[in-house]
Amino acid sequence: MNDDEKTEEQHLHELAQLRHRIAELEKIEATRKRAEEALRESEEKYRTWVEQSLQGLVVVQDFRIVFTNIAFAEIFGYTVEELLSLSPEEVRAIVHPEDQALVWGRFQDCLAGKPVPPRYEYRGIRKDGTMRWLEMFARHIKYHAKPAVQATFVDIADRKQAEVDRARLLKELEAKNRELERFTYTVSHDLRSPLVTIQGFTAMLQQDIEHGNRENVKTNLQYISRAASKMDELLSATLKLSRIGRIANPPEDMPFGTIVEGALMQTAGDLRAHAIVVSVAQDLPVVHVDRMRIEEALVNLITNSIKYRGAQPHPKIEIGHRKDGRETVFFVKDNGIGIDKSEQDNVFDLFYRVDKSTEGTGAGLAIVKRIIEAHGGRIWIESELGKGCTVCFTLPLSAE
């Protein structure tokens, strides 16, 4: 039957079917457009999330960075474009040499589908060559149908620094505890000596009084008085040492030469009495310190040099500084009896005396050490027996 022979009813039916098909196609097209729009919105949201994420994100394929975000670029000091243009060798080099076997070995395991730790720490190398501690999470993915590794990075430099600070503080605390134990032992031991003397002569004094031995009474009282004075000196030195580091004046910028002048004025009488020649360097730097404390330390060092001058016919003291690399080292040097190497670690202990026959409590160098360390400096001895002694120490310099 040809078209001419079709009835009007048949034509209307075919037209209705055609319109129905067109409506279905329009619905399919509308659904496709909505899907495309949803996909586009989803991709836009994902891209925005990735680009604005505070975590570094990267995809590595064949040792090339094929995708990254701004956070990752900022961690390593590159632009995104620079990272995407790095060669495989340059990509390997953004990992610290000592950590490359760990990081790239796990990358290879991840690519091969082998189990790897979900997170691990390593050191990254920034564009400027500085090191940065990072925590990384990596997983195997398909990127454009090829195996790749997607990794997320967190900068943990602050956490690592906190761990270092904590370890340092624990070490300092352990050292302080050991110092406190030595301090307690030393104080109890040295204070016991004059107490034993007082107790012994008190008992003898009582017997002499009972027997009316007036001459012995006078002698016993002298021994008791000297022992009490010795105990007072020891207690004063102990109290002085305990206060250093807790009671201090605000640090100020001060020419070290000015502080030396003050110390020399305080010791001028003893220096003249023993005909000691003192030389002071002219180019001493400016330091940032508590002037009174450092002057006190210098007085103790000068007094020590006077005390241990020995039989030197021409005693000398030299005050100066030198450069050890980038560090400025101050020193007080004499040509006295010197200190044997076996005793050099002990001279800064409380009440320790190289020559037991000399006067004093032996607290001088312990006080000096506490003052220097309260300023963040170090102190040590350079000496040989019979060849003089040099006390070296560091101090914070003026920032100007």
pLDDT (tens digit per residue) in 141-151: 888 888 899 88
How high is the pLDDT of residue 278? 95
Statement: the pTM of the whole predicted model exceeds 0.85:
no
Measured from the Cβ of residue 55, the count of other Cβ atoms closer than 10 Å reads: 15
Q: What is the mean pLDDT of the chain?
A: 82
- Whether 47 shows a pLDDT value over 60: the answer reads no
How high is the pLDDT of residue 39? 58
φ/ψ (deg, to 5) at 326? -90, -5
For tokens 């990272």, name the residue: 83
How high is the pLDDT of residue 233? 67
The pair of structure tokens assigned to 57 is: 């994100």
- Whether 330 shows a pLDDT value over 60: the answer reads yes
Which helix (H) or strand (E) covers residue 170, if one does? helix 157-211
Q: Using CB atoms within 10 Å of the CB of residue 357, give its burial: 0 to 12 exposed, 13 to 18 middle, 19+ buried.
A: exposed
- Between 6 and 125, the more confident residue is 125
Split at pLDDT 50, 70, 90, the class of 211 is confident
How high is the pLDDT of residue 51? 57
CA-closest candidate to residue 349, choices 185, 230, 174, 168: 185
Directed axis angle between helix 364-374 and helix 214-243, to 10°?
Answer: 10
How high is the pLDDT of residue 226? 77
- Whether 246 shows a pLDDT value over 70: the answer reads no
For 99-120, how does the pLDDT look when each residue is reduced to its tens digit (9 = 90+)?
999 999 988 888 888 888 878 8
Split at pLDDT 50, 70, 90, the class of 126 is very high
